[in-house]
Amino acid sequence: MILQKYLFTLLIIFACSVAGKQFRFDYDYSEYADGWFKLHLIPATWHDAWLRCDLEGSILASPINYQMKVAMDSYWEAKKTNDCAYYTGINALFSHGDYFSVEGVPLPRMPVKWAPGEPDNFNNNEDCIVLTNGTIADVNCSEIFPYMCFKKNTKDIIMTSCGTVDKEYKMESLTGNCYKFHPVGKSWKRAFMTCAAEGSYLSVVNSPQEALLLKKIYDANYPKIRPGTNKDVIIIGMHDWNEHGVWRTIHGSTIEEEGYADWAQGQPDNSSGQYCGAMFRTGKLDDYWCQSTAPFICEKSPDSLLEP
């Protein structure tokens, strides 16, 4: 029994980086699960947890087999958190009572047991599953819990010159940074979240030359913008903190200090409360409604996801 426990411990040792196995510095590699884990301690609803993992290029982890169950339990214990439960990817959102992982594995195939008194389907409204002390329980998906993301190691995971496995980021020699155009429109806050999850930030314009670069990226991707999305502007990394006329980048400096404050004619006009920043196809700046959606460009330095 002691030998078995010792071998078990060896199998579940985690390392922040493994030679030849790189994903991003904030994920820990598990040899046993052959993939990377990240525990998000800031609680979220199930949907927001799923979305954050998805934006980071991973999935909401589920104990779909023995190896994953052991690895998840070990990682949770290693973090020594005071929380007693965390979200898994197991849910019945598509069909009440039919639980599947986000990969499509049915719950009866998983090596898990219900906690005492579970499932209780309280108020007939518990479609998501948490892991608690090695067992599972059903909860309301709008409740907030910590959660664990997982990225399986596959042959197509290749670290690019942009310091990411996301092949859509392209290096630009003008700035030495990498850029990615998102053709699906999102609100300013959701765009900010998307870039942050990818290890980047909403693009900041530092010079007239960079404005022309963003215009070039905008033009090249214009045909890819999804139907129903506002094609007139792209969202960029500036705002006025709901204080008219005090336009700053997401890095805290004024746009004048940053090096580019070329507004389109008649802008900023603050039409019905436009507090977020955008850019027209001309390369000129625009103030935009924060809740309205538009395409956007993320910008990242090549080392933003590498070990500090």
Q: Would you say residue 9 has pLDDT above 50? A: no
Look at residue 270 in the predicted model and tell me its pLDDT. 78
Q: What is the pLDDT of residue 171?
A: 97
Residue 50 shares a structural domain with residue 135:
yes
- Record the tokens describing residue 269, joined without a space: 């006009």
What per-residue confidence (pLDDT) applies to 156?
A: 84
User: Do residues 166 and 146 lie in contact, with contact meaning Cβ atoms separated by under 8 Å?
Assistant: no
Q: Identify the pLDDT of residue 11.
A: 37
pLDDT digits (tens, 9 = 90+) for 36-79: 999 999 999 999 999 999 999 999 999 999 999 999 999 999 99
Provide the domain limits for residue 184: 170-300
Task: Give the per-residue pLDDT at 101.
Answer: 98
- 255 falls within a domain: yes
Residues 114 and 58 in one domain: yes
| pLDDT score, position 278 | 97
What would the pLDDT profile of 248-292 be if each residue is shown by its tens digit?
999 999 999 999 999 999 998 877 778 999 999 999 999 999 999
Say whether both 281 and 200 belong to one domain.
yes
Whether the pLDDT of residue 112 is over 80: the answer is yes
What are the residues facing 86 on neighbouring strands? 131
Is 160 contained in some domain?
Answer: no
pLDDT value, residue 17: 37
Looking at the predicted structure, is the pLDDT value of residue 7 above 60?
Answer: no
Of 121, 152, 183, the last residue of a domain is 152
Q: Cβ distance 141 to 127 under 8 Å?
A: yes
Q: Looking at the 3D structure of the chain, how many domains does it have?
A: 2
* 15-19, 135-139, 193-197: segment of lowest average pLDDT: 15-19
Q: What pLDDT, on the 0 to 100 scale, is given for residue 244?
A: 75
Has this prediction a pTM greater than 0.95?
A: no
pLDDT at residue 4, as a whole number:
41
Q: Do 197 and 84 share a structural domain?
A: no
Identify the three-state secondary structure at position 89: strand
pLDDT at 158 over 50: yes
The CATH number of residue 292's host domain is 3.10.100.10
> pLDDT grade, residue 21 (50/70/90)?
low
Cα dist from 306 to 27, 157, 194, 298, whole Å: 10, 15, 18, 17
Q: Of the candidates 64, 58, 79, which has an alpha carbon nearest to the alpha carbon of residue 150?
A: 58
Assess whether 184 and 233 both reside in one domain. yes
Q: Please give the structure tokens belonging to residue 163.
A: 């310091």
Same domain, 147 and 188: no
Residues 196 and 270 in one domain: yes
Mean per-residue pLDDT, 184-205: 97
Q: Quick one: 113 and 78 in the same domain?
A: yes
Task: Give domain status of residue 163, yes or no.
Answer: no
The proportion of the chain whose per-residue pLDDT surpasses 90, expressed as a percent, equals 84
Segment 99-108 long-range contacts (CB within 8 Å, at least 24 positions apart): 99/129, 101/62, 101/64, 102/50, 102/59, 102/60, 102/62, 103/59, 103/62, 103/64, 105/62, 105/64
Residue that finishes a domain, picked among 118, 152, 186: 152
Residues 86 and 193 in one domain: no
Do 59 and 132 lie in a common domain? Answer: yes
Note whether residue 161 is domain-resident: no
